[in-house]
Each structure stands twice: as C-alpha cells, then as structure tokens.
Structure 1
Amino acid sequence: MRFQILFSTVLLFLISSTCVHSQVKSNAHKDKSANELVFDSTLTVPLEFDNTLDYMLQSWVIQRASTLNCNSSDNVVAVPDSVYKLRLSKMPCLMEMPYNPNVRSFIELYTVRKRHQVEYMLGMSNYYFPLFEQVLGANNLPLELKYLSIIESALNTTIVSRMGAAGLWQLMIGTGRMYGLEINSLVDERLSPVKATNAAAKFLKDLYAIYGDWNLVIASYNCGPGNINKAIRRAGGKRDYWAIYPYLPRETRGYVPIFIAANYSLHYASQHNLCPAIVNMPTLTDTVMVHQRIHLEQVANVLNLPIDEVRLLNPQYKKDIIPGDIKPYALCLPLNSINAFIAKFNEVVSYKADELINNRRGEIEIIQAAATITPGGSGRVTYHKVKSGQTLSDVADKYGVSLKKLKKWNNIKGSKIVIGQKLKIIK
C-alpha cells in the first residue's frame, strides 16, 4: 500500500513536470450534472485542435488530393437532441458518453464545419486504428481511447505543437522518455506509430491507476495531473469531471466533450453523409531490422518507392537517416517490398553513399574513427570503391589493415561486398 502511494506521488510529480499547464480561472459556478450542464459561452476549443485539423487538410493530405474519391454528400443532416442522446447511449463503450449542449456543439464542429477533414481522418483511421486497438486491448484499456488521437493530432504522425508535443499522441519530450522512447537529433520515437502508441497506453494506464475515472484521465492527459488535483481541491474533494468542470483550465473544459464528440462523429459518420476518403497508404506492411547507417532516399530509389511513402511509414527518422551503425533500428516498408530490400541491401547501402551518408557525418565520424585506431595512427578516414573481382582481403592488403578491422569499420558481418560499394578505411 505504501509502495502504491509512493508510486502515485512520484508519477504525479514526473508527469506534472512534463505536461503543458494552463492557468485555472476561478469561477463561482454551481456544480451541475452532465445532463444539466448549461452551455458555457466561454468554452474554447482545446489548444492546437482547430489548427491541427486545418494543417492536415492543407499539407500532408492535400498532396494526395488526386487519389481521393469520396462520394459523400455535402448535405448537412439536422439531428434533434433526443436522437443524439439515444445514439450515444447505444454506442458500445465502457467509458461514459453523456450528452449536453457542449457535446452537441463539438459534434457539429466535426459533422458540419470540419466534415471534409473528418472524411480524411476516417480514411487514415483504416490504417492506424487496428494498431491502436491491438495495443489498447493488450493493456486492457477501453478501445474508445483510440479517438484521443483524433483530438491530439488528427492522425498526423509528424505534427509538433507550439509547446513541443509531437506525434499521433502529442507526447512531450519528458513524458516520452519516461516511457522509454528514444528522442535525439536523428530519431524521435514519439513520431513512431507503434512506439508512441505503446507509450501512450502505459501513460493512460498509469493515470487511471491514480484517478480511477476515465473522464479525469482524459482531462489530465490534456492539462496535467497538477491542474486536475487543484480543481479537485477547489471542488471540495469531488473526483468527478462534471463536478470539477468549472475549476478546470478553460481549454480543458472542452476536452472531454470534444472526446465524446469524436467518438460519436466517427462512429455515426454514415448517418451524417460522411464517408472515408481513399488515401494513398499501403494497408499491408512489415518491418526489417537495419544494422547499417542508411538514408531513406537510398531505400526509395533502389526499391522504386515514392520517398513520401517511405517517410510516411517511418516518421521517427527526422532527417531521413537510420543510424543502424549505432544499434539495430526497424524500417517499415510495404509488405511486397520486404524481400526486395533484403535481396538488394548492399545496393541500397552503396546508392549515393558519399552524397547521402558519408558527407553528412563530417567531424562526428572522424572523431568516432579516431577512437578506434591503433596507437600512432593519424585517424585519417578514406573510402575505397570496390572494383570488379576484389575481395575484402584484397582491400585489406591494399591499405595494410587487418581484415577484422576492415569489417568492423564497415559493419560487415560476412564477407560479401559488391562492385561500387564504398568501404571506409582508417589509417
């Protein structure tokens, strides 16, 4: 019991230090139940939400506008409150989905004002939601939490907020690292759909262990446990979202209603004449581990894949470089390209290596190389282009170095090299 209290205290401190906090505005509103809540005229859309939807439409989706073929109607369906309430009650959800004027306002934001963005998100959800459901299910979490990514990122893997939150689940750097994500100049696993979803699931699970209420979990995901705890104290210790609602940051007041609206809007999209857009995404993919430093452009050109597609499948590599010479990293590709990548790996490594890889490493590579040379060496790095008939032993003899070191410098496990391959030599 003491361990659980200590864990919760430490977790609250760590999460609070990595979340974006909003100032709580004191209000003298009386507590109301979800169904009695009077529409708050000061209610605002959560920070970045509106811009996120518009950014998606204007940038990464619009580039594929020619592939979209959605035959939905622009006719807006008028829905009475009684129907909204009935539909919400019939949704197969574990989490509470109450109806009130604020929820209605956000449903109409999705189904009327932002209906075309919703169609794009419906199309992208066919790719991402199976992954989300698999991870949420494995962690015994409600599957409807997948709609949290709709609010956070509009299913844009590479979006970064003004406050530095990144990826599908908009994790801050501190939160990401707390849940084991690698974040540096080349790799940001907050942008990885798989890694980020696993981290977000653990984060949500820990928040539920603290609050035991999903609405409070959703709210704390937005503004941080510190603000939730402050609102609970101002509400006289009540641990109910609708009871602490007047004491939450103004932005967070809209967070649970907009989450409910996202669940409703995508679940009942067809009833609002909305249909999934056709997006240019490979539905079947697989991963292969890479043990050498390569550039995504090398992969795209040798395998004859669009570079945008390779980037879309591997958004965690911020500069298009996979630093596989440091440790193995996963490369995601369309399923039908995996065998070709394995068969042509040496060709991939050699393709424009000087331009895309070797010249980019500069002083860092020289410093690393100097640390591996024998005493008395100059640390000078040169490259040898493999000619027809040459073997690794031939190259080692030519430069007066050991075969073992030559293989180590170039991350070669066996003895196979190909014509045109660039081999690093340290003298």
Structure 2
Amino acid sequence: MPMSSPSGPTTGRRVLLGISAGIAAYKSALLARLLKQAGCEVRVVMTQGAQAFITPLTLQALTGETVRTSLLDPEAEAGMGHIELARWADTILIAPATADLMARLAVGMADDLLTTLCLASDAEKVMAPAMNQAMWAHPATRRNAARLAEDGWRLLGPDSGDQACGDVGPGRMLEPEAILEALRVAEGAANTGKGPASGLTITITAGPTREPLDPVRYLSNHSSGKMGYALAEAAAALGARVKLISGPVALACPAGVECLEVETAREMHAAAQRLAPESDLFIGCAAVADYRAETAAEHKIKKVEGEDALTLRLVKNPDIIAAVAALPEASRPLVVGFAAETRDVERYARDKLARKGLDMIIANDVSREGLGFGSDHNAALMLWRGTAGEEQEHLAPQPKREMARAVMGRALACLAARTTR
C-alpha cells in the first residue's frame, strides 16, 4: 500500500507508541515514521530495557516530540505529566510488546511509566507481541494474552517466520506496514460506517484444539486455521467487529480483528459461550476435538516393557456449535457451522444442520487432494434455511480467501432475511 500520503482514517489521531525491550524495537522507528506519514500525532514512551535496543534520540528525531522514559521524571511530573499523557492519547499502541510486559499488564501492574499510562488511560489499546517462539507458546503467555484480550486489548499478531535467535515459528512482531493497516482497517470500519457488515459483531472459531494426554503429548488434528482466519479477514473487510477464537496455529491475527487464543475444546467452549450472546453472527469453523482424555497424566506416559498396547479412556468434549445454537432466542446469533467429512459429505452435512439446529452449514471433503486441511484452497457445499425451505449452493475449488467472501455474503444474506421476518 502507498505510504507517502498522509491521508486516511488515521489522520489527526493521537497515538502513544510504547516500546518495550525486544530486538524488534528496531522496527518501531519505521512504525513511528509511518504513523507520522499517515497524519497521526505520535508521542513515544520507552521502557528502560527498550533503550538498550534503540535510542530515545532516534524516536525524538522521527516524531519531533520528547520521548518519555521515566515515571519519576521531576520536570514532567510537576504537573502530573503521566496523567496528562494518558488523557492525551486516542490510541495506546505497544510495539513490540514483550512477554514480560504482557505479563505485567495482564495482572494490572503499574511499575513503570508505560504500564502506569495503560492503567490510567481510557484510550483504545493495541499491542503487537514479539518474542521467541517458545515464549509465545508457553502456557503462561497464552493465559496472559487471553486475559489482555478480555480486558479490551487488541493483539496484532504475532507473525511466524525466522527469528533473531535462529528459531523458526510464531513470535515475530508484525511488520510496521501491517500494523498501520490494522489500525486503518479498524478505525475505518468504526468511523465511516461503511460496509454491509457495519454495526455487526461476528464471532468466529478457527484452528484445531489440543487435548493433553500428558505433559508432552496431546490429541489434535490437521487443521491449519486458514479457513477461519480467511473468514475473519473477510468479515473485518466488510466493516464488522470481529472476534476470533483461535486454537493453536502458525498464523498472524488478521488486521482489524480481536484475537483470543485458546488451547483445549473446553477453553474454546467457555470463550464461545461468553462471546456468542453479544454477537449477531457466530461461525464455528474450528476443528474441535470430539473427545479428550478422561484424566491427563501428571507425568509423561512411559512405555511398559512386554506390553504392546496402551488403553486410553476418552470422554466427550462439549459441543460448542450446538450449545450456541441452543441459546435462548433473545441472545442467539445466526449460527453457521462447518462439516469436514471424508465421505457422504452432503448426507452428513444435512444431518448436522438439522440435529444441531444450525441456520447454515458449509461442508467439505477433506480427503480430496489439495483441498481442506493445510491447503490454501477449498471446495464446499453450502446449505442454509431459506424462506422457501432448505437451499444449497456448490462452491467450486478456489482460494480460501475467495471462499470466505462467498460464505460471508451468504451468511449476511441469511441474517438480513432473519431480521426482516
């Protein structure tokens, strides 16, 4: 996208750019420059550790504003400067947001200037996480990310790829251009009221779940999350407020989407039960494990010499999509499900549509080579309850992003038909 023009939804917005102690802080200089080019007023707050990676003088030169680094600055605090700064901001954007900073914010600490500002401000709050892939995958970080999302933080990313430490995986900070685009998409949808989904809240589940067997093993499936993420991206582009409940995937959160990461089916079920009553449309695209271990072993399950078989007792997981469909009418969104099948696709889809009380279902044959799990393409059968009864449409093989737009178009049509009845 062109970055030379200052026009766009972000023009005139007051952005407080927080920088914490990660190697990705070098990208913050470009981010500050892009925000200025987009017409934002930018002020920078750096943690003590961030100054080991990039100097305040660099950010001051790029923004034309004094960079704040200390909570106990006698000159600034003569007039309660940190409160004044908290009130000044329209948006607090932390990029990079380290695991340490996320942990401190998740429990409400205010032990430096940046965390104090976050607690003292009513501004929109956005962060771009950046850390080693193992740190991002750690259960503590996942809990902190979920808590921050619940508290109103919008998490952008992280991205996946090569890391400075030599590892490969999710944890890279989104590129500055992608962060700016995410701000533009969200603000444009909120301020312009444009798009057929403007004013709607859409909740989507995506990816697999992982059901632990012991500390090192789990039950899961081959879902990549690509279809659910494409749906979230398409919904945001249509102007909706989008909440994405995602199992563990190696994908960046789409621009303008609120992401909530979960691990197990029960965690996804709890998030869905909380968000669905606030939604106009609920799309269950996740490949949820039907069963989990009755009891996960406390320690690694060891092989027993002389025994060639291992017996595991599995119990059913909650049926997320059926539970949403069974909500009272006053709080029930339009409910769209997915059916990943390997045979008798249409028969199983019709059965699931009726048995679970769904309004619409998208069924695909995941045994077809090059389609479904892990692929960038898909083909499907859409079934929905129309005014004249059950209707259907076949979607030929196509990129998942294109299919997402088709599914969203049909779902919004069904929603509009329901509201006019």
Q: Calculate the TM-score normalised by the size of structure 2.
A: 0.25
Q: Calculate the TM-score normalised by the size of structure 1.
A: 0.25
Q: Larger strand proportion, structure 1 or 2? A: 2
Q: Which has the larger radius of gyration?
A: 1
